[in-house]
Structure formats: structure tokens, C-alpha cells
């Protein structure tokens, strides 16, 4: 099997990114935006934002809140994409930790769905 079967190249950079990892990062971005949307719905029903930075962004507007959430997440995902092969504390790579982020966000979205049924 050729190396190009599992990797794709950016136009000018010699850096290789595994398509599966890029898909995981895209999934994280979608889960993050879903979390932001669910947060706005919950706040409209009487919940409150626990994160003080995001609470201040929400005080500006819902659109600003989603924009801040998107930008912060995008920079984090870009960092993960560029440094995914690096080991953390010599134990596991950032790519491997990305799976934990996905599980966390999935749990958060399930929690928010449950909250929707509790808040009238």
C-alpha cells in the first residue's frame, strides 16, 4: 500500500495529515457548534452559562457567542492538527487525546438534550 493511500498533501506544505484525524477534528467542531446552539436554547429557557468568558460573550449577543466559541475552538483544532503526533507527558499523542475530546462533547450534548426535557 502506498503512503498516498492514507495521507493527503496540502498544496505547498510537505506536512501530512491523516484524513481520519481531520474527520475527527471536523466532528469536534460540529459538536462544539451544536453545544453552543444547545446552550443558547437552554439559556432562553432559564439556564445560565457557567463559563465566565462565554457568559460575557453571550451578554453581547447570541451571534457573538457562537462566533467566539467557533474561533476559540478553531484555533484549538488547528493546534491539534499541527501537533497531533506529539506526545503528552510521554504517554500518548494529541491524536489519541482527541478521542477523549469527542467523548466529552458527545456527553455534553447528551446532557444538554436531557436538560431540555427538564426545563420547560
Mean pLDDT by groups of 10 residues along the chain of 120 residues: 50 63 90 94 91 94 95 90 79 84 93 89
Cα atoms found within 13 Å of the Cα of residue 74, Cβ hemisphere only: 7
pLDDT of 7 reads: 52
Which pLDDT value is given to residue 85?
A: 78
Domain ranges of the chain: 18-115
Number of CB atoms found within 10 A of residue 58's CB: 21
pTM of the model: 0.75
Q: What is the structure's pLDDT at 1? A: 46
Amino acid at each position: 500500500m502506498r503512503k498516498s493511500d492514507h495521507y493527503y498533501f496540502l498544496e505547498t506544505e510537505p506536512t501530512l495529515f491523516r484524513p481520519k484525524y481531520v474527520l475527527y477534528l471536523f466532528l469536534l467542531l460540529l459538536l462544539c457548534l451544536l453545544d453552543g446552539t444547545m446552550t443558547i436554547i437552554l439559556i432562553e429557557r432559564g439556564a445560565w452559562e457557567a463559563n465566565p468568558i462565554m457568559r460575557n460573550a453571550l451578554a453581547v449577543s447570541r451571534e457573538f457567542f457562537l462566533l467566539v466559541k467557533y474561533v476559540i475552538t478553531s484555533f484549538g483544532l488547528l493546534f491539534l492538527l499541527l501537533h497531533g503526533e506529539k506526545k503528552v507527558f510521554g504517554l500518548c499523542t494529541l491524536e489519541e487525546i482527541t478521542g477523549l475530546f469527542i467523548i466529552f462533547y458527545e456527553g455534553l450534548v447528551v446532557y444538554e438534550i436531557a436538560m431540555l426535557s427538564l426545563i420547560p
